[in-house]
Structure formats: structure tokens, C-alpha cells
């Protein structure tokens, strides 16, 4: 089902990486962008480029883990520009650099608080406005890592799996109210986050290619957007295999932290 063209769009994590690419992909005359990010300088740089493409831009400097600030800021934006599309994209990664590395409680909490609760802090205030209007679209940027956990990034995989599970759970209820929800499952996208990933990065896409792909699929009303195709298929097949067999395959593909020599 093709959706109407969104004019009032909020993107979290817009100061860099895929979020920045998405902001630029949607920037056009007649579009109002609400760009959320922590780094003020990078956020303003993105905003300037979006304005050069004709968009009106409102920057929201905020940490998505701050529930109160997020709600106040998003409701203020929505009061002036009722949100058509929210892309909850902000996220951080954590990888184990060796077998001696470990994600303790603090490190795990930071990943989950940003990737899952940070998304909720954007999504829930916006859903509260969209449901009474009977209109709107939400995009949750999860990850292909949500399809099958990997030993190299436990907290990241868990947080992204939780995001996918949440989206799948609330999608049919929101649809009753005219709000469409899509879960986005990117593979490797060329960003600062992927640059520090220690494992192999097959079928990696440029961030601009990923952003335009996401935009096209959201416009067509896709419930789930997983890319690139071969990697998404491989992860789905892994999830069907016996756990020990799948663990062995992932280990051979460098997704098991290596023993130090």
C-alpha cells in the first residue's frame, strides 16, 4: 500500500551516518525536517545541507535517552508541524574486540538504553499524537543483527532484536488507527559505526544508497525493509538452523571474538 508523501518528518540520530543520509534524502522544498542529535556542530552541518536543498529545518539537540526532553521537544514540533513520518534511527554499537573483552552491566545498559529505550522515547510521544489523528508513519531502524544474535556484539543484537519485536507487536494495533509502522533491518552501511566493526562486512552499502532505498520502501508501505537481500536471506536461514551449527558458521565468518595470542 503506497503511503501519502510525508511533509513533516522527524529523524533521530540525524547528525551523522545513516541518519544524516536520510535527512538529505528527504530534504526538499515544502518539507519540514525535525532533526534530532547530540552533537550540535554536526547537527547544524546536516541542517545547513538540508536547507540548501530547500527544506525547512528545525534542529533538536537532545540525547534520546532523556525521555522528558524528547517528549517536550517532539510535542512542540508536532504542535507546529503535525508529524507525518518519524524515523527512529539513533543508535550506538558495541563489539567485543577479543575473547578477553566483555560487556558488563554499565556497557550493556548504555546500548539498550540508547537503541531500545531511546527509540521508545521518540516513538511513544509521537504515537500519542498520531493515533487520535488517524494518520502517520513510524519507521524503527533495527538491524539485520536482530534476526540472529552474534557473539561479537551481544548487547547490540539484543537491543535491535527487542526493537524488531516491539515493532512487530504493535504494528497491527496501530494499523487499526491509521498509523503505519515499518521495521528497517539494514545490513552493513558505510558509516563511522561500521568502520570500527572488527568482523567481515559483506555486501556493504554506501549510506546514500541505503537512505534512498529506505525512502522508496517506506513510500510503498513495506512493513519490513531488510537489505541487502543476500545478507538478509543468510541471516534468516541461520536462525532456522540448530543453534550450535549456526554458532559454528558465525565463528568461521569472524563473528566470534578471537583468542589473543
* CATH for 12: 3.40.50.720
Residue 259: the pLDDT is 66
- What ranges in the chain are assigned the alpha helix state H? 17-26, 40-52, 67-80, 105-112, 118-133, 154-176, 192-195, 207-219, 229-240, 243-252
State the Cα–Cα distance between residues 221 and 219, nearest whole angstrom: 5
pLDDT value at 261 more than 60: no
Asked whether residue 74 is domain-assigned, the answer is: yes
2, part of any domain: no
Q: Is 117 a catalytic residue?
A: no
Total number of domains constituting the chain: 1
- Tell me whether strands 224-227 and 179-186 are parallel, antiparallel or unpaired: parallel
Q: Residue 102: its pLDDT value, please? A: 87
Task: Kindly report whether the peptide bond that precedes residue 203 is cis, defined as omega within 30 degrees of 0.
Answer: no
pLDDT digits (tens, 9 = 90+) for 177-226: 999 999 999 999 988 777 777 667 788 899 999 999 999 999 999 999 99
pLDDT recorded at residue 184: 98
Q: Phi/psi zone of residue 29: left (φ > 0), alpha (ψ -120 to 50 degrees), beta?
A: beta
Q: Is 259 part of any domain?
A: no
Question: Is the predicted pLDDT of residue 17 greater than 60, yes or no?
Answer: yes
**Contacts of residue 253, Cβ cutoff 8 Å, sequence gap at least 6:** 199, 200
Q: Is residue 3 part of a domain?
A: no
Does residue 132 belong to any structural domain of this protein? yes
Q: Which domain holds residue 104?
A: 8-252
From the list 26, 156, 166, 255, the catalytic residue is 156
The verdict on residue 214 lying in a domain is yes
Amino acid at each position: 500500500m503506497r503511503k501519502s508523501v510525508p511533509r513533516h518528518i522527524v529523524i533521530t540520530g540525524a547528525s551523522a551516518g545513516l541518519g544524516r543520509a536520510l535527512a538529505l534524502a528527504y530534504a526538499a522544498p515544502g518539507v519540514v525536517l525535525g532533526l534530532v542529535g547530540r552533537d550540535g556542530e554536526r547537527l547544524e552541518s546536516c541542517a545547513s545541507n538540508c536547507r540548501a536543498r530547500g527544506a525547512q529545518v528545525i534542529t533538536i539537540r537532545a540525547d534520546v535517552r532523556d525521555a522528558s526532553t524528547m517528549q517536550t521537544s517532539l510535542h512542540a514540533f508536532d504542535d507546529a508541524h503535525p508529524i507525518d513520518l518519524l524515523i527512529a534511527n539513533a543508535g550506538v554499537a558495541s563489539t567485543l574486540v577479543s575473547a578477553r573483552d566483555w560487556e558488563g552491566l554499565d556497557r550493556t545498559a548504555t546500548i539498550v538504553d540508547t537503541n531500545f529505550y531511546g527509540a521508545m522515547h521518540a516513538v511513544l510521544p509521537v504515537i500519542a499524537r498520531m493515533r487520535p489523528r488517524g494518520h502517520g508513519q513510524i519507521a524503527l531502524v533495527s538491524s539485520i543483527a536482530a534476526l540472529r544474535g552474534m557473539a561479537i556484539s551481544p548487547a547490540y543484537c539484543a537491543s535491535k532484536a527487542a526493537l524488531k519485536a516491539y515493532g512487530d507487536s504493535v504494528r497491527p494495533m496501530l494499523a487499526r488507527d491509521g498509523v503505519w509502522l515499518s521495521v528497517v533491518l539494514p545490513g552493513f552501511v558505510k558509516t563511522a559505526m561500521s568502520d570500527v566493526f572488527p568482523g567481515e562486512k559483506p555486501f556493504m552499502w554506501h549510506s546514500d544508497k541505503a537512505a534512498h532505498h529506505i525512502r522508496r520502501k517506506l513510500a510503498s508501505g513495506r512493513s519490513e525493509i531488510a537489505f541487502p537481500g543476500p545478507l538478509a536471506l543468510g541471516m534468516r536461514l541461520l536462525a532456522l538452523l540448530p543453534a550450535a551449527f549456526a554458532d559454528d558458521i558465525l565463528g568461521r565468518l569472524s563473528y566470534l571474538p578471537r583468542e589473543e595470542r
